[in-house]
Structure 1
Amino acid sequence: MSKIRRVDCRLVDLEPETLRTDASQTFVRQETILVTLTTDDGLTGTGYSYTIGTGGSSVLALLRDHLAAVVTGQDARNVEALWTRMLYATRATAFGVLTSLALAAVDTALWDLRCKRAGEPLWRLAGGAHEGLPVYDTEGGWLHLTEAELVENVTAARRKGLRGAKLKVGKPSGTQDAARLAAVREAVGPHFELMVDANQSLTGAEAIRRARLFEPYDLAWFEEPLPAEDVAGHLRLARSTSIPVAVGESLYSAGHFAEYLSAGAAGIVQADVARVGGITPWLKVAHAAEAFNVKIAPHFLMELHASLACAIPAGMYVEHIPQLGAITHGSLRIEDGCVIPPDVPGLGIDWNEDAIADLRVA
């Protein structure tokens, strides 16, 4: 047996490493929710999730008031059973983002325990499909940046050996977006991948219009063009353009991904392990995508998604957007534009407990 004897829940606020703006919001701060599980056989596992400015204290309350008691005394090895148990204990608020974030914090801690017990890194225990995957940059493509700054940032990413870069779109007119994109494409040439992200800011008609403006620039994908609940709108867009439509960061259940995949409304899946409820459902989404011959390029959480994307056959890209530098030791290893997943037992995240204590707010 490996019963859970202690559940510690913490919240830390992290300042963004750079100003981050998109068509919908400004990234004010990152509320990082940490859960550490201690078992009676002497192991500890730490997992986490996050918000980008609000709701962290609500997730923490859900964990402390409800989910901690659900897993205490249970066998930590029974990961699927515990995930289901937590889901049914919070059925009144599932599926939704706050519940998914809370589930993810516990579930990632359970997987940390599982990997440590097996003496294996996450990327191998969860599948071991790739020893590395290409990395694309997001930090240089924010919406507030000038055209000249975009060109400078994206060419710098190419010089560093990264394989692509993502630009935020959603300016008042499509011609503004297209002009910025044209300047970057001219600067980096035809062999460097470019992606765009509208952050759910467009109507269906406007997304189709802008996709036609973007098509000459050979984009790897058009990300979150419409509100996430608009499956039909994404399907109409996918049928109207040659640019793959990417969705997933704002989908909070495997069932919602199933809607997109079965409809043919997603060309790229961007499941976020925190927002979908943990590693357990994330892997289900990833294998479902593979069954539909759709690739996975996870959203955010690069320190965790580097391992998960490498674990599964459908892994495509890892997004370079540093998140945890202020509360961890070391950084991900990137060689020749590819991230190499951590090869130590567990999630592969080396938490800096002194820094966490300094930044802890609850």
Structure 2
Amino acid sequence: MTAPTPATIAANPLMARLAPGEATTDRIAWVKLSLAVLPLKTPISDAKVLTGRQKPLTEVAILFCEIESANGAFGHGFSYSKRAGGPGMFAHAKEIANNLIGEDPNDIARLWEKLCWAGASVGRSGLAVQAIAAMDIALWDMKARRANLPLAKLLGAHRDSVRAYNTSGGFLSSPIEEVLESCARLKDKGIGGVKIKVGQPDPMVDLARVEAVRKLLGDAFPVAVDANQQWDRPTAARVGRALEPMNLFWIEEPLDAYDAEGHARLAAALDTPIATGEMLTSVAEHFELIRNDSVDFIQPDAGRVGGITQFLKIMALADFKGLKMAPHFAMEIHLHLCAAYPREPWVEHFDWLEPLFDETLEIRDGRMVVPNRPGLGFTISDQARAWTVATHEEGKRG
């Protein structure tokens, strides 16, 4: 395809955003944003609820982005917020989405910078980049669909399946009997590991719950715990030492997410690996953990750090440092990214988001299988449309 002429550009506003060249053969014509509210079957509590910092979780806000190009290429992505923040993400995305119209959808890194600087007055982390994440992921989905490849293969996969562990059955809002029943069921279904929540006011209750799970599943089955940032440094050290005989595959978020120094001291003192990172919302924040030797498992979340473009930067830093990886939540996205990470990672199995899509992911022999469908491999379901509370469109669909 030859470069557009000045007359063509004048007649077509879509062509005006980027100085044309021979390599530019398509433009973004239409962007649709949708805010959906996914209700949870039962309220969920972790240690943050027991300390009074948060209320039980009852719903998840989902920001969907759908993008279509002038040539008919399509992609969609999503980000999310638990408790507050969903309407704010949607509002910010509405303000900046028009910056995509007329741009080459292949220039994803440049477009991330453009969207970020369009809203830089409110920062380059947090809600601002979480709004960008849905658009960034949609562009990556489009690029993989255009190539007729699963996203993992577009990025360059190291494996076609990833070790999978489940979290959704181990919350503190569930009595230990329910946790044990869930763990047994998950093991029978072929899950590769389980994670249970800790961080109760009495650490002895935590230890008893972990001991019960370990006794049920056996010494070799992978078990992790997650304190959700609710321990101080002395408590994390004491409980961490008490947990050493449990052969856990990690202790997650033992300290405040921004305490890189505290995590580094704990990681050096314990044999049990330390994992954290899910609450951070920028590459720079993850770099603090990485450069300070704060973690054995880094846990970025593509929806929180700004999408796949930023996640790939964290992957490169983590691999250079020799870290293992276990992204947080959103397995529909993170499965592909885990498959492309050089070191054997874990992907977190949460079934909460399954009603949003027509397709589901398969777990076989303890591993989640990368689907052979193009892009992310998902279609937004009618149920997700029914849960939608707001929409916004820019441009015109062909």
Question: What TM-score, normalized by structure 2, do the two folds share?
Answer: 0.88
Structure 1 partner of 2:384? 356
Name structure 1 gaps, 5 residues minimum. Answer: none
Residues 1:338 and 2:367 are matched in the alignment: yes
Structure 1 partner of 2:11? none
Distance in 2, matches of 1:243 and 1:281, equals 29
Distance in 1, matches of 2:239 and 2:44, equals 23
Structure 2 partner of 1:268? 297
Distance in 2, matches of 1:95 and 1:218, equals 39
Distance in 1, matches of 2:219 and 2:109, equals 45
Distance in 1, matches of 2:203 and 2:219, equals 22
Distance in 1, matches of 2:149 and 2:41, equals 31
Structure 1 partner of 2:60? 30
Matches within 5 A, 1:12-23: 12-23=36-47
CA RMSD in angstroms, aligned pairs only: 1.3
Distance in 2, matches of 1:275 and 1:8, equals 20
Please state how far the C-alpha of 1:327 moved relative to its aligned partner.
Answer: 2.3
Residues 1:292 and 2:321 are matched in the alignment: yes
Q: What per-residue deviation string (whole Å, max 9, x for no partner) do you get for residues 10-68 of structure 1?
A: 10110124542111142220100001111101112111000112111111110111x21
Between the two proteins, the alignment pairs up a number of residues equal to 360
Please state how far the C-alpha of 1:94 moved relative to its aligned partner.
Answer: 2.4
Deviates more, 1:330-339 or 1:106-115: 330-339
One-letter code aligned to 2:31: V
The partner residue of 2:353 within 316, 320, 324 is: 324
The partner residue of 1:234 within 241, 256, 263 is: 263
The partner residue of 1:81 within 93, 110, 133 is: 110
Q: Specify the SS of the correspondent of 2:40.
A: coil
Residues 1:43 and 2:50 are matched in the alignment: no
Distance in 2, matches of 1:314 and 1:84, equals 28
- The percentage of counterpart residues that share the same residue type is 35
Structure 1 partner of 2:135? 106
Of structures 1 and 2, the larger Rg is shown by: 2
Distance in 2, matches of 1:39 and 1:308, equals 24
Name structure 2 gaps, 5 residues minimum. Answer: 1-24, 50-55, 391-398
Distance in 1, matches of 2:137 and 2:88, equals 19
Q: Specify the SS of the correspondent of 2:303.
A: coil
Please state how far the C-alpha of 1:233 moved relative to its aligned partner.
Answer: 1.2
Distance in 1, matches of 2:200 and 2:361, equals 33
Q: What per-residue deviation string (whole Å, max 9, x for no partner) do you get for residues 237-278 of structure 1?
A: 112211111011111111111111111001101111100110
Question: What TM-score, normalized by structure 1, do the two folds share?
Answer: 0.96
Distance in 2, matches of 1:194 and 1:41, equals 48
